[in-house]
Structure 1
Amino acid sequence: MNSGGAEGDIDGDADWGVIELVEHARPVSRRLPDAVGRELAASRIVEAAPDPYAAGLWTLRAGSKVGAVRVEAAGEEPVTLRITPKVAIGRLFFLLGYSLDPRGWRDGDVDVAQHRELLPALAHAFERQVERALGRGLLQGYQATEEASLVVRGRIREAEQIRRRFGAALPVEIAYDEFTTDIAENRLLRAAVERLLRLPGVPRDVRARLLHQRARLADVTPLVRGQELPQWRPTRLNSRYRHALHLARAILDGASAEHRAGALRVDGFLFDMNKLFEDFVCVALREALAPYGGRGSLQARGVHLDEDDAIRIRPDFVWYGERGTPLAVADAKYKAGRPEGYPEADLYQMLAYCTALGLGAGHLVYAKGNAPHTSHQVRRAGTVLHQHALDLDQEPAGLLSDVAELVREMARGATV
Structure 2
Amino acid sequence: MSAGPWVGVLRAADVEVRVRPRITIARLMYLLGYAQDPRAWRDDPVALDDQPDLWPAMAQVFLRRAEDALKRGLLQGYRTEESHQMVMRGRLRESDQLRRRAGLPVPLEVRFDEYDVDIAENQIVRAAVERLLRVPGLGSGLTRRLRHLLGRMVDVRRLVPGQAVPATPFTRLNAHYQPALTLARMVLRSRSVDVLDAGVRATGFLVNMNTVFEEFVTTALSQALVPCGGRCVPQDQRYRLDQAGLIQMRPDLVRYGADGRVQAVVDAKYKVEKPAGYPNADVYQLLAYCTATRLKVGHIVYAQGEAETDEVVVRNADVLIRRHALDLGLSVASLQAQVADLAQEIATNQAPNGVAV
TM-score, L = length of structure 1: 0.80
1:214 maps onto 2:155 in alignment: no
Q: Which runs of 5+ in 2 are unaligned?
A: 353-357
Alignment of 1:65 onto 2:21: no
Q: Deviations for 1:380-401, whole angstroms, at most 9, x for unmatched residues?
A: 3221100001111111111111
Cα deviation, residue 158, structure 1: 1.5
What SS does the corresponding residue of 2:72 show, helix, strand or coil?
coil
Give the alignment of 1:313-352 within 5 angstroms: 313-337=249-273, 343-352=279-288
Q: Is the CA contact 1:161–1:167 (under 8 Å) kept in the aligned structure 2? A: no
Structure 1 range deviating more: 251-260 or 294-303: 251-260
User: Structure 2 counterpart of 1:225, which letter?
Assistant: P
Q: Percent identity?
A: 47
Instruction: Specify which of 134, 149, 161 is matched with residue 97 of structure 2.
Output: 161
Match of 2:339 in 1: 403
1:309 is aligned to 2:250? no
- Counterpart mapping for 1:325-404 below 5 A: 325-337=261-273, 343-404=279-340
1:233 and 2:233 matched: no
| 1:111–1:125 Cα contact (<8 Å) kept | no
Q: Name the structure 2 match of 1:103.
A: 39
Q: Is the 8 A contact 1:66 1:85 kept in 2?
A: yes
Is 2:82–2:111's contact at 8 Å kept on the other side of the alignment? yes
Q: Is the 8 A contact 2:27 2:328 kept in 1?
A: yes
The Cα of 1:124 is off from its aligned counterpart by 0.8
SS at match of 1:81: strand
Q: Which deviates the most, 230-239 or 349-358?
A: 230-239
| Aligned position for 1:243 | 179
What SS is found at the alignment partner of 1:105? coil
The 1:355/1:369 distance shift into structure 2, 3 A limit, reads same
Partner SS state of residue 86, structure 1: coil
1:271 is matched with 207
The change in CA–CA distance for 1:368 and 1:181 in structure 2 (over 3 A counts) is same
In structure 1, runs of 5+ residues without a counterpart are: 1-59, 73-77
Counterpart CA distance in 1 for 2:206 and 2:105 is: 55
CA-CA distance at 1:111 after TM superposition: 4.3
The separation in 2 between residues aligned to 1:343 and 1:99, in whole angstroms, is: 29
Look up the SS of the partner of 2:225 in the other structure.
helix
**Aligned counterparts of 2:56 and 2:343: Cα–Cα separation in 1:** 35
Equivalent in the alignment of 2:129: 193
2-structure distance, mates of 1:145, 1:257 = 34
1:131 is the counterpart of 2:72: no
Q: From the superposition, tell whether residues 238 and 317 of structure 1 become closer, same or farther in structure 2 (CA, over 3 Å).
A: same
Cα distance per residue 1:57-78 (max 9 Å; x no partner): xxx3222111111123xxxxx2
Contact 1:377 1:385 survives alignment (8 Å): yes
Question: 1:314 is matched by which residue type in structure 2?
Answer: R
Which amino acid is the alignment partner of residue 325 of structure 2?
A
Higher RCO, 1 or 2 (CA under 8 Å, sep at least 6)? 2
Query: In the alignment, what sits opposite 1:294?
Result: 230
How far off is 1:163 after superposition? Answer: 1.2
Give the letter for the 1:344 counterpart.
Answer: N
Are residues 257 and 111 of structure 1, via their aligned partners in 2, closer, same or farther at CA, if it must alter by over 3 Å? farther
Deviation at 1:405, TM superposition (A): 1.1
C-alpha distance in structure 2 between counterparts of 1:403 and 1:157, whole Å: 54
Contact 1:155 1:175 in 2 (8 A): yes
CA contact (8 A) 2:191 2:205 kept: yes
**Matched length:** 349
Which secondary structure state, in structure 1, belongs to the residue aligned with residue 110 of structure 2?
strand
- Cα shift readout 1:154-210 (whole Å, capped 9, x = no counterpart): 111112111111121111111100111000110111111011112211121111111
Q: Distance in 1 between matches of 2:235 and 2:350?
A: 21
CA contact (8 A) 2:312 2:321 kept: yes
Amino acid at match of 1:377: V
Aligned CA-pair RMSD: 1.8
**Contact preservation (8 Å) 2:272, 2:282:** no
Amino acid across the alignment from 1:307: Q
Following TM superposition, the consecutive aligned residue runs of length 4 or more in structure 1 with deviations greater than 4 angstroms are none
Residue 281 (str. 1) matches residue 217 (str. 2) = yes
**More moved, 327-336 vs 225-234:** 225-234
CA contact (8 A) 1:93 1:110 kept: no
User: Does residue 122 in structure 1 map to residue 58 in structure 2?
Assistant: yes
* CA distance in structure 2 between the aligned counterparts of 1:327 and 1:290, rounded to whole angstroms: 14
Give the deviation of 1:337 after TM superposition. Answer: 4.9
How far residue 370 of structure 1 moved from its aligned partner, in angstroms, is 4.7
* CA 1:205–1:397: 2 relative to 1, 3 Å: same
- Whether 1:148 and 2:89 are equivalent positions in the alignment is no
CA-to-aligned-CA distance 1:71-101 (integer Å, 9 cap, x gap): 23xxxxx211111111001111110111011
Amino acid at match of 1:64: P
Quick check: 2:271–2:306 contact (8 Å CA) kept in 1? no
SS in 1 for 2:245: coil
| Secondary structure, aligned partner of 1:61 | coil
